[in-house]
Amino acid sequence: MLKFDHVSKVYKGGKRAVHDLNLEISKGEFICFIGPSGCGKTTTMKMINRLIEPTEGKIFINGVNIMDSDPVQLRREIGYVIQQIGLFPHMTIQENISLVLRLLKVPEEQRRTRARELLTLVDMTPDYLEKYPHELSGGQQQRIGVLRALAADQPLILMDEPFGALDPITRESLQEEFKKLQRKLDKTIVFVTHDMDEALKLADRIVIMKDGQIVQCDTPDEILRNPANEFVEEFIGKDRLVQARPNIQTVGQIMNPSPITITGERTLSEAIQLMKQHRVDSLLVVDELKVLQGYIDVQMIDQNRKKASFVREVVDTEIFTVSKRALVRDTIRKILKMGMKYVPVVDDKHRLVGIVTRASLVDIVYDSIWGVDDLSKIG
Amino acid sequence: METIQDLIYYYSQNGAYVWHEFYRHFLMSAYGVLFAAIVAIPTGIVIARYNRLSTWVISLANIIQTIPALAMLAVLMLVMGLGTNTVVFSLFLYSLLPIIKNTYTGICNVDHALLESGKAMGMTKFQVLWMVELPLAMSVIMAGLRTALVITIGIATIGTFIGAGGLGDIILRGTNVTDGTAIILAGAIPTALMAVLADLVMGWLERKLSPIKKRKGSLKNNIQEQAA
């Protein structure tokens, strides 16, 4: 739907921002332009809605050369979100959202309904409609900024580092929300960022640029697996490349190697203290040789604290374990199926070597979806 | 004490006359500012667009501002003759600088991101001006009008020297008679009062037109009620 054909941009003074760029973007695709600052990614994006006009070459939207269409009309058909958010402070949220509709001369009543409808997309209540931008938090403002770009149901949306100015937590949640929204609405999105994590997380295809030229253009997986050259490798970062290899297969690689343990000779009050200290609700019981005996939890201690005083008297020996060499996917299935909170990992001699908890699972899932988490945190 | 009694006596005898001059004085100032606004606001907008012009235009307005009021009136009188029109014209000239400067500053200070997002959303140049720049610059422009109005109310008192009337007439009469303190005050107090009032009213307007609106209390309460 969007096609760059030998596009170049030379600024006054001879600075070549974009050099002979060829690219085709199909409908519904989420494209991330990424690269160091000054690589021409923003220029490339702004050429699409003619905020900057190309010096050479042609850009086609649905087969129509953008230089043949009226720039004002063209821009009304393309959504635009910027880093500085750019909500108009003198207009209410409702007016801000429906501004493009107002420019397109949609009747007031329809604009109001549309604004209300859009707000529900980002889980905001209709009473925000009458508020002014300065009454909203940064994250909420950028949600409105995104809605504004969706208001006229534009098929193509340009985003210039839209989440760059937000704090990391808000950014994270907005990215997630936005990705969901994009899948639902099936928009073509051109997204400029300098944050590789963001690009890997959101994009269908990533365009890595340097000095006005495309260095590599591929899916996130493909870029991680086969970086085109040293520049790309360096830009992605070594950590991410390591993780991208599908090497997490056995439990031993993902387990937490230092579970909280106690020996049978300890007293129950010591056990409670240990739990409190490490903020856990159960302890694995081992002997001197680290052979797993069983487990105790808060409930068992509570029920038996009048009758017993040592751990070995209340320990539950019926405990499910997995071997260090078990496959991760099997273990996951067991954990989920049996509704267990954790599984101790043992070696051939039934000695405790680690533990797999639900938190480890979250890490794996996170890793397999985004492929960006730090491996050392898990293993 | 006697002066105050004299003053009250003067007002009781010449109330209608003072009111007439007050009104005349105000009209001269208001017309001066109004005409200046008609010329200066568009000029301010233009020089905000073409930055190279701004130094020239603002320097010119600055030069006008430095001419002493009496000298200005004298020179204009040579060309335009005696009477109200000459005073209104000189007030017009004095109002130019604050209005041009504030319009220019107001428009230039509109956040660049807002202009870009306006343009990128498909506003025409005129729509950007009308829907974004002017509303956001309005309170600064109003501050310019406010300054201009207060200045002109002061200067208009001198208009009496070229027969324009206004409260200056009363002050001048007071200076020409022996023991005219009460009469001088009779002219000066309303002038000062007018300046203060104008400042207050324009200040209120300025706040009213401020782009960042505080929501009305009632609306807030409604929402809280709904939430509860």
B76 Ramachandran zone, left/alpha/beta (phi>0; psi -120 to 50): alpha
What is the predicted pLDDT for the residue at A373? Answer: 47
User: 3-class SS at B116?
Assistant: helix
Q: What is the DSSP string of A270-281?
A: HHHHHHHHHT-S
- Residue A244 reports pLDDT greater than 60: no
CA-based Rg of chain B, rounded to a whole angstrom? Answer: 22
- Would an 8 Å CB–CB cutoff place B226 in contact with chain A? yes
pLDDT the model gives residue B185: 92
CATH 1.10.3720.10 fits B2-227, yes or no: yes
Checking if the pLDDT of A379 tops 50, the result is no
Q: CA quadruple B188, B192, B197, B202: dihedral positive or negative?
A: positive
* ipTM (interface predicted TM): 0.77
Does A128 contact chain B (CB < 8 Å)?
no
Say which residues have a Cβ less than 8 Å from residue A277's Cβ, sequence separation at least 6: none
Q: What is the pLDDT of residue A3?
A: 92
* Sign (positive or negative) of CA dihedral B186, B187, B192, B198: positive
Domain ranges of chain B: 2-227
The span from the CA of A324 to the CA of A347, in Å, is 6
pLDDT at A167: 85
Triad A264, A270, A275: Cα angle to 5° = 100
What region does A333 belong to: left with phi over 0, alpha with psi -120 to 50, or beta?
A: alpha
**How far lies A142's CA from each of A87, A152, B113, B192, in Å?**
9, 17, 13, 50
pLDDT for B227 equals: 44
pLDDT of residue B210: 82
Whether the Cβ atoms of residue B190 and residue B22 lie closer than 8 Å to each other: yes
- Residue B62, strand partner residues: none
- CB distance A86–B116 less than 8 Å? yes
Facing A82 at nearest CB: one of B117, B122, B212: B117
pLDDT at B216: 46
Task: Report the distance separating Cα B156 and Cα B94, nearest Å.
Answer: 11
- Binary contact (B213, A132; C-beta < 8 A): yes
Whose structure tokens read 């260090």? A324
Q: What is the DSSP letter of A67?
A: G
Q: How many CB pairs lie under 8 A apart between chains A and B?
A: 66
Helix (H, G, I), strand (E, B) or coil at B158: helix
Chain A contacts of B123, Cβ < 8 Å? 72, 103
Query: Between B121, B215, B219, which is nearest A80 by CB?
Result: B121
Residues A103, A85: Cα–Cα separation, whole Å: 19
Q: Could you give the C-alpha distances from B126 to A86, A330, A350, B109, in angstroms and in order?
A: 19, 65, 79, 18
Query: Is the per-residue pLDDT at A81 higher than 60?
Result: yes
User: A3-12, A72-81, A296-305: lowest mean pLDDT where?
Assistant: A296-305
* Residue B219 touches chain A, beta carbons under 8 Å: yes
- Cross-chain Cβ contact B121/A99 below 8 Å: yes
CB atoms within 10 A of CB A281: 9
Task: Give the residue among B43, B72, B68 at the shortest CA–CA distance from B58.
Answer: B43
Question: Residues of A with CB below 8 A from B119's CB?
Answer: 51, 75
> CA-based diameter of chain A, in Å?
89
A131/B215 touch (CB, cutoff 8 Å), yes or no:
yes
Query: A90 and B117 in contact by Cβ < 8 A?
Result: no
**Is A72 at the interface with chain B, CB within 8 A?**
yes
Please judge whether A51 and B119 are an interchain contact, meaning their C-beta atoms are less than 8 angstroms apart: yes
**For residue range A157-191, what is the model confidence (pLDDT) as tens digits?**
999 999 888 888 888 888 888 888 888 888 899 99
Burial-class residue B149 by CB neighbours within 10 Å (0-12, 13-18, 19+): buried
Cβ burial B172-206 (10 Å sphere, 16+ → b, else e): bebeeeeebebbbbbbbebbeebbeebeeebeebb
Taking only residues 88 to 127 of chain A, the set having a beta carbon closer than 8 angstroms to any beta carbon of chain B reads 88-90, 99-100, 103, 127
E strand map for chain A: 2-10, 16-25, 30-34, 56-61, 64-65, 78-82, 156-160, 188-193, 205-210, 213-218, 261-263, 282-286, 292-297, 322-323, 342-346, 352-357
B136 touches chain A (CB under 8 A): yes
How close does chain B come to A203, measured CA to CA in Å? 23
Chain B residues lying within 8 Å of A135, measured CB to CB: 215
B118 touching A (Cβ < 8 Å):
yes
> In the predicted model, is pLDDT for residue A377 greater than 80?
no
Query: What's the half-sphere exposure (Cβ side, CA atoms, 13 Å) at B198?
Result: 26
Residue A223's pLDDT is 85
* Residues A133 and A89 sit within 8 Å (Cβ to Cβ): yes
| List of domains in chain A | 2-244 (3.40.50.300), 251-378 (3.10.580.10)
- Nearest Cα neighbor of B164 from B44, B69, B37 is B69
Calculate mean pLDDT across residues A80-92: 91
* Residues from chain A contacting residue B223 (CB–CB below 8 Å): 127
Residues 39-58 of A with CB under 8 A from B: 49, 51
* Minimum mean pLDDT range among A57-61, A124-128, A365-369: A365-369
The answer on pLDDT for A82 being more than 60 is yes
Going from the first residue of chain B to its last (228 residues), give the mean pLDDT of each consecutive group of 10, the final group possibly shorter. Answer: 88 92 94 96 94 92 92 93 93 95 94 92 93 92 94 93 91 90 92 95 89 52 42
Chain A partners within 8 Å of B209 (Cβ): none
Q: Is residue A241 very low, low, confident or very high in pLDDT (cuts 50, 70, 90)?
A: low
Give the best residue of A46, A70, A90, A94 to mutate against chain B (max B CB count within 10 A).
A90
- Which of B110, B115, B121 is the mutation pick for testing A, counting most A CBs within 10 A? B121
Q: CB distance B122–A103 less than 8 Å? A: yes
Tell me, what DSSP letter sits at residue B177? S
Q: Does B140 touch chain A (CB under 8 A)?
A: no
A89: enclosing H helix or E strand: none
The answer to whether B33 contacts chain A (CB < 8 Å) is no
The answer to whether B132 contacts chain A (CB < 8 Å) is yes
Measured between alpha carbons, how far is B7 from B102 in angstroms, rounded to an integer? 40
**Contact at 8 Å (CB) between A58 and B102?**
no
**Considering CB atoms only, which of B121, B132, B213 is closest to A75?**
B121
- Using a 10 angstrom Cβ sphere, with 0-12 exposed, 13-18 middle and 19 or more buried, the burial of residue A186 is exposed
Sequence letter at residue A178? F
